[in-house]
Amino acid sequence: MNKKYLSIILIVLLIFSLVSSFALYDLWQQEKDKAIQLKQELNGANKQIEALNSNHEQEINKAASNFVERLFTYDPRVYENGRQAALKMTIGGAKEKITKEQSRDPYEEFREQGETTISLVNITDSVYNKTGNETAEVIVQFEQELVLKGIRTKTINEMKLWMHYTGGEWKIKNYEMMQVA
């Protein structure tokens, strides 16, 4: 009879051990999933903090001005390939616009005629507006000097840039030329 009770107790303990092992494994898996979720949330929060720390006027105006200079300067002595450099500073709609514009070169017809075309840019002003932790808008006013067939013309232009913080730097998400009053 003692063997019978002992066998029943051992079987009950074995079943209890298996059930508690499965329960503990399930709890461990849930905690592991929570830890992964918390790590993802922490990484997202760290990116937000990094974007917020770099979202100040001087840094964003500099990125916007560099983009405008590279996009509109056409002088191999200043920038070897300014449009390619400008393309690397873009994402989304801005990247699509530049890629579409690169398919046609606005100065190609003059080069075919043997004419030297030079376009130089001088940034005169920029206005920064923080729109979020990772976003900002900048209006850049610039003077563009175009030299064609030895004739110089100057125009004053404004461009509105929508910027987004991604990959540790500010990129141009979209842009549009604005009418200068």
Mean pLDDT, the chain, integer = 85
Segment 115-166, tens digit of pLDDT: 577 888 899 999 999 988 889 999 999 999 988 878 888 999 999 999 999 8
CATH class belonging to 58-178: alpha beta
Could you tell me the pTM of the whole model?
Answer: 0.71
DSSP output for the chain: -HHHHHHHHHHHHHHHHHHHHHHHHHHHHHHHHHHHHHHHHHHHHHHHHHHHHH-SHHHHHHHHHHHHHHHH-B-TTT-SSHHHHHHHTB-HHHHHHHHHHHTS-TTHHHHHTT--EEEEEEEEEEEEEE-SSSEEEEEEEEEEEEEETTEEEEEEEEEEEEEEEETTEEEEEEEEEE---
Give the pLDDT of residue 157.
Answer: 92
Query: Which amino acid, one-letter code, is at 179?
Result: Q
